[in-house]
Amino acid sequence: MSVPSKRCDVLLPELSTPAALLDLEKLERNLGWMAARAKQLDVRLRPHIKTHKSVHVGRLQTRGQHGGITVSTFAEASAFADAGFRDITWALPIPLSRVAEVASLSTRVDRLHLLVDHPDAVEALEAHGRSCGVTFDVLLKIDCGNHRAGVDPRSENAVELGRRLASSVHLRFRGVLAHGGHAYACTTRDQLERVAQQERDETVGFAERLRAAGVEVETVSVGSTPTMAVARALPGVTEIRPGNYALFDVFQATLGVCTLDDVALSVLATVVGVYPDRDTLVIDAGGLALSLDPGAMHIDRDGGFGRVSVPGVASMLRVRSLSQEHGVVEGLGRAGAVRVGDRVRVLPNHACMTAAMFSEFNVILDGRCIDRWPLARGWNP
Amino acid sequence: MSVPSKRCDVLLPELSTPAALLDLEKLERNLGWMAARAKQLDVRLRPHIKTHKSVHVGRLQTRGQHGGITVSTFAEASAFADAGFRDITWALPIPLSRVAEVASLSTRVDRLHLLVDHPDAVEALEAHGRSCGVTFDVLLKIDCGNHRAGVDPRSENAVELGRRLASSVHLRFRGVLAHGGHAYACTTRDQLERVAQQERDETVGFAERLRAAGVEVETVSVGSTPTMAVARALPGVTEIRPGNYALFDVFQATLGVCTLDDVALSVLATVVGVYPDRDTLVIDAGGLALSLDPGAMHIDRDGGFGRVSVPGVASMLRVRSLSQEHGVVEGLGRAGAVRVGDRVRVLPNHACMTAAMFSEFNVILDGRCIDRWPLARGWNP
């Protein structure tokens, strides 16, 4: 593990709460695991940095890789470009309100891939490219069963849209992209494997139909953390875009993709109340610190809003409910001698949502905070 | 209405999305309504500013009032103190990790009320006060039926804790405080009225027991937006602390406390996809823009994650699901000729949570953005 130089040295009890803690050893282990998966699957790794929004994590994550990343917002794209990332895919159908901004950003990087799945977006991009002399790199987003965004890859419209992109003067058609987000609704590994197969098959199959129609397809991009955890082989796929694996969380552990010991993000909180009559304690991490993500409720209906690790107590407690700044934790009776003022750590249900609640990570190594890494939050640079 | 001077003048179609819009006329109407309620109920209004975290809104909200406010975080307390607010109640049992910071802040304002509900917190505050020569203003938090924080006001422990506070050298006991947060679980106005009555009765009753035990009780503080909307009379109560009413939201409208037309906060979003086969459209406002608050699910199980107002369409659509940056809206068939690139406005389920996702409000008057007001987000000044 390459340990960065210590830029600060703070003991955990000295941190103000709530605070986001990033366990550097677990992070490195998680990053190494997916890098090995990509190598084994013989695909490029273009990690989705929305999970952490940190250029420091992004640099560790792309070591030894080709350097491409995936982002979810224009703010992330811009911050990572500023930090030297040159190959960026914005994995949201391009909001046309951002066209002028992406045109400007695209001149600062080698490639800024934009997603399209509708002729109107294609037309608007072409018109803007024509008027300001920019050529946009575009990927065609397909729906591989998630039913959120994307064209139906089996439709004639999809092939027609690919043809149109390929023949455009102000667009460079780079390939096809899908996200098997419906993996998060699975309950068994078998189901996960089927979604991973579907994600691959629909995307590669569509790329082949485009090629048969005379359209050159360079990039065939798939991926989520759960599907990339279980995929056995990805012939025809050129790159994968998992993101959550960097931090992992209670949802992924419930899904069986990791263990709770792999979760690299936690929220440090202070116990502000203990209520033996109600068997609860209250911490100063509420819905704004942990996010209101209910986690994998389809598997664990009473999973609560995060797992609480109390020093000296073997089993973890559950966050039962959240209000804005209060977290109610159940199981005080199992929490031993926990007292008002004690610190606890909460493993989040959904690390991407929880990380985004904070402006910085406290980077933890050997029980000390050795650095602070800012997050590129929000939507505007 | 007192219109602030225009510090910017931007048309809505020129705003980047997602963006938080604050309708100034609705805000002023909501503020005036609760000010009139407080007058009618003959109580002081100490609004909870956690809903908006904006010193600009706080100034409008305390016009003609005694100037006291309620906050949920140390960051809010600090930002509002910097802006000249002199009388602050931090309505969370004091996190002992913040004692040194609150000691410092308490010297910059007239009063910083801290909440306690446990002897350990009392002891820690006293010890800190002794060591650094500060006297803390404290309120005793009671549980009036919400079962989140607070002592049982009918217990002997509660009276004993009040006696102890009153006799402390380094604490100034100021009174008692309760929050009828269980009002949010009500389904009818009758139920709301019963919770409002209970909130008042438990708090005033406890204050009277303390007085009978020889303890002076200056402040008797209650309130939430729903209970203060329905309370008929509050004899014995000295102040109320509603917060949400400044902005209102879909939850409050579902509860019958306001109408959707009263909601002063909305999120401006861009349509990034239209999917006629699935009857959905996708907007660039996901869980990070709207928050994942499911709203009043006990009343409206299929309420979704916000109501979407599409220009030229009479009925509002519902946000069916959210991922990090995607919002899936159902009812495309009813959305007329909505196209990729169009702007829509989303009324949030829970305005407090949604506002906190943004760094600033775009202040809207007559369809134009006339100012930008920052929010005191996070936990550290």
**What is the reported pTM?**
0.97
For A166-177, what is the mean pLDDT? 97
Residues 226-265 of B with CB under 8 A from A: none
pLDDT of residue B2: 47
At the topology level, CATH places domain B264-347 in: Lyase, Ornithine Decarboxylase; Chain A, domain 1 (2.40.37)
Q: What is the 3-state secondary structure (H, E, C) of B33-80?
A: HHHHHHHHHCCEECCEHHHCCCHHHHHHHHCCCCCCEEECCHHHHHHH
Smallest CA–CA separation between A203 and chain B, in Å?
19
B324 contacts A97? CB cut-off 8 A? no
Which residues face B222 on adjacent strands? B240
Rounded to whole angstroms, the Cα distance separating B52 from B32 reads 16
- Residues in chain A with CB shorter than 8 Å from the CB of B353 are 287-288, 292, 324
What average pLDDT does range A205-234 have in this prediction?
Answer: 98
Identify all chain A residues contacting B274, using CB atoms and an 8 Å cutoff. 118
Percent of chain B with pLDDT over 70: 98
**CA-based nearest residue to B178, from B156, B209, B133, B147:** B147
Is B353 an 8 Å CB contact of chain A? yes
Q: Which residues pair with B113 in a beta bridge?
A: B89, B137
In this model, does residue B5 exceed pLDDT 80?
A: no
Confidence at residue B3, expressed as pLDDT on a 0 to 100 scale: 47
Nearest to B97 among A270, A324, A378 (CB): A270
The confidence score (pLDDT) of residue A45 equals 98
Residue A256 to residues A32, A78, A244: CA-CA distances in angstroms? 19, 34, 14
**Strand pairing class (A111-116; A87-93):** parallel
E strand or H helix at B236, and its extent?
A: none
Closest in A50, A98, A326 to B92, CB measured: A326
Beta strands in B122-228 (DSSP E): 136-141, 171-177, 219-222
| Total beta-carbon pairs less than 8 A apart between chain A and chain B | 161
Kindly state whether A343 is in contact with chain B, defined as any CB-CB distance less than 8 angstroms: yes
Tokens of B378: 């996070």
CATH number of the domain located at residue range(s) A260-374 in this protein = 2.40.37.20
The reported pLDDT for the residue numbered A1 is 45
Which among A308-322, B227-241, B331-345 has the top mean pLDDT? B227-241
CATH of B25-247, one of 3.10.20.30, 3.40.50.620, 3.20.20.10, 3.40.50.2000: 3.20.20.10
**Residues 14-73 in B contacting A (C-alpha not used; CB under 8 Å):** 15-19, 50, 72-73
CATH 2.40.37.20, chain B: domain bounds: 264-347
pLDDT at A312: 84
pLDDT surpasses 80 at B1:
no
Q: Is A326 an 8 Å CB contact of chain B? A: yes
- The mean pLDDT of A64-89, rounded to a whole number, is 97
Residues of chain A neighbouring B93 (CB-CB closer than 8 A) = 272-273, 282, 340
pLDDT greater than 60 at residue B204: yes
What is the pLDDT confidence band of residue B13, given thresholds at 50, 70 and 90? confident
Q: Do A148 and B16 touch (CB under 8 A)?
A: no
User: What is the residue-averaged pLDDT of chain A?
Assistant: 96
Residue B42 has pLDDT above 70, yes or no: yes
Residue A275 in this model has a pLDDT that exceeds 90: yes
Cβ pair A378:B359 closer than 8 A: yes
Distance of alpha carbon B4 from alpha carbon A55, whole angstroms: 40
Q: Is the pLDDT of residue A2 over 50?
A: no
Task: Render pLDDT for A7-63 as a digit per residue (tens, 0 to 9).
Answer: 888 888 889 999 999 999 999 999 999 999 999 999 999 999 999 999 999 999 999
Distance CA A78, CA A164 (A): 29
What pLDDT does A352 receive?
Answer: 98
Average pLDDT, chain B: 96
Q: Give the pLDDT score at A224.
A: 97
CATH 3.20.20.10 residue ranges for chain B: 25-247
The predicted-structure confidence for A316-341, as pLDDT tens digits, reads as follows 999 999 999 999 999 999 887 899 99
What's the rounded mean pLDDT across residues B122-129? 96
- CATH class for the region spanning A25-246: alpha beta
Q: What is the reported pLDDT for B30? A: 98
- All CATH 2.40.37.20 domain ranges of chain A, comma separated, are 260-374
Amino acid A4: pLDDT: 53
Mean pLDDT to the nearest integer, B27-48: 98
- Closest-approach residue (CA) in chain B for A293: B292
The residue type of B228 is M
pLDDT in tens, B264-314: 999 999 999 999 999 999 999 999 999 999 999 999 999 999 999 998 888
Alpha carbon distance A6, B225 (integer Å):
48
**B294 contacts chain A (CB < 8 A):** yes
Whether pLDDT at A361 is above 70: yes
SS3 A208: helix
B-chain residues within 8 Å CB-CB of A351? none
Task: Flag if A293 and B292 touch (Cβ within 8 Å).
Answer: yes
Is any Cβ of chain A less than 8 angstroms from the Cβ of B126?
no
pLDDT recorded at residue B6: 67
- pLDDT of A13 reads 86
Q: Do A96 and B359 touch (CB under 8 A)?
A: no
Place of tokens 């992109």: A165
Tell me: the pLDDT tens digits for B311-355?
888 889 999 999 999 999 999 998 878 999 999 999 999 999 999
Pick A117's closest partner by Cβ from B117, B273, B289.
B273
* Tokens representing residue A351 in the block: 């690390």
**Does B360 contact chain A (CB < 8 Å)?**
no
Q: Which residues face B329 on adjacent strands? A: B281, B319
Q: Residue B17 region, left (φ>0) first, then alpha (ψ -120 to 50), else beta? A: beta
Q: Does A272 touch chain B (CB under 8 A)?
A: yes
The pLDDT value recorded for residue A6 is: 67
The verdict on a CB contact (< 8 Å) between B270 and A96 is yes
Task: Starting at the earlier edge strand, list the strands of the sheet with B171-177.
Answer: B44-45, B239-240, B219-222, B171-177, B136-141, B111-116, B87-93, B69-71
**pLDDT for B131-152, tens place per residue?**
999 999 999 999 999 999 999 9
- In chain B, residues with a C-beta closer than 8 Å to the C-beta of A326 are 92, 148-149
pLDDT, one tens digit per residue, over B170-200 is 999 999 999 999 999 999 999 999 999 999 9
Whether residue A3 has pLDDT greater than 80: no
pLDDT (mean) for B26-42: 98
CA closest to B277 among chain A residues: A152
Computed from CA positions of residues A282, A287, A291, A294, in that sequence, does the dihedral angle turn out positive or negative?
positive
pLDDT per residue as tens digits for the range B50-59: 999 999 999 9
